[in-house]
Structures are given as C-alpha cells and as structure tokens.
Structure 1
C-alpha cells in the first residue's frame, strides 16, 4: 500500500479532524460510491464513460491494477458529491477523492475475483454493455464488506 494511503487511513483511524473516524469511515465512503454508481457494473460503466476504461478493466482483469489519481475520481463522481459523502462519514475535507483513488481499484478487484463483472450485474445489464444506475441492494454490492477490505489493506494483506 502506498505511503499516502497508509498516512490518510492512519489519520482517519486517529480521528483526522473534528469527527471521530476509523477505517469503517473509508469503507462507508466506498459503499457510497458503489451505491451511487449501482454496484460494480455501474462503477465499471462510469469509469469507461469518463475515458478511463483501460484502468477500470485492469481492476476487473486478473493482472495488476492500474492506479488512478484524485482528479480521475472527480471525472467519475462530482467533487461536491464526494465531499458530501466524506462529511457524512467523518472524513476530512479534501481527502475523500484521494482515499477513493487508492481504494477503488482494490474494491473492484476484490469484487471481480474471476476477472469479470459478477453474474448478477451482467444479468441486470442484459448481457451487454454496462449501464449506470443498475440498482442493487443497499450499498450497491450485496454482502461486500468495504470496511473489512480497508482493514485488510491497512494490515498489509
């Protein structure tokens, strides 16, 4: 894990601002992003539409994950929306896009272990091109533990 992510998540674990926060805050931020996009298929579609298809496909595929930066996250999600999510989960202002940039590749990779978008998302798309807004339960990725993912990443796994 990069030094920035360790530092940023370490800051979250120690409260990073006036709100008490922990790795669950970063997990909740990821959950918000996935729910907003409509799950992993929506994330893939949104990144493709933003001209970042090669990067998101690397996260789905079985090779290495091509990293992204905060400005690329802000091509996919409006900065105001990201900051709203951050504020709701106690993440310091200005840090949310950077945290998402580091965590989204791992989150998509974790949800596509076979190198493809999960079957239920493909079925929701009718087997064709991914579409945005495909509603899935609650957090956009039923049963996926984003907080646990952040904790695993913090532990170096």
Structure 2
C-alpha cells in the first residue's frame, strides 16, 4: 500500500481488480472482512488485497474506507493538476473523462507502483480499468454532490 494514502490506494486497487460493476460484491467482502478479524478471501490477487485491508476495515468498515479514500483521491488529483476532473465526478452533472495518460499523472507514480504490486496487474491495465470505472464509481459514491463525511 502507498504509505501516504492507504485508503485511496485500497479503493483504487479494488476498483481496478473487481470493477465498479461488482461493487455489491465488494461491499460484502468489506463487511465480512470488517466484522471477522483476520477474515480473508484467499482466491487470487483480490484476496491478497483484502488481506492487507483487514485491519483498516476492522477499524471503521467500508464507510470509513470510502470516505477517506475519496477524500485522498480528490486531494491527490488537486495536487497533481487534475482537480477539475475529480470535482466533476463528485459534483452533480456530467463527468469529465480522464484518459489513462492523464490518470497516471493524477494518481502519481507511488500509488500506481503500489497498485501494480498489490494487484499483479500491469500499470497499463490498471490505468485502462480505472479510466473506465473511476468516474462512475466516484459519481455513485457521492450522490449528493459532495464527499461523504
């Protein structure tokens, strides 16, 4: 996990691995890992990522991970010159698309390297998946047009 932004890295990793279309399954996994100390899904890279998150989830569950992860995401995008894209995903209205090359700059090399290591996916595959899934996921998780508290 990235040392500076573990919740954001976890959120991005899960979206890249399982995809936004499987968000209900992710919530079940989070709920199970958060309520059963040490619970792990041992099947494939998702299991390894969930295992690394079990402590964080036990401390606050999916709501805390989403809240802090989304906050870290917007902060990182602002720092790297792509705050307008992240803001469009949070606020009501159309979502700005962010091609993989710009997403790479917005996420930053440290988080991308951590995601590559944790998921086993190449940086190109991670960026392609996140470019597709991230805008809709952030939009869905911020239905009131603002970050959760």
- TM-score for the superposition, normalised by structure 2: 0.49
- TM-score for the superposition, normalised by structure 1: 0.47
Q: Relative contact order: is structure 1 or structure 2 higher (C-alpha 8 Å, sep ≥ 6)? A: 1
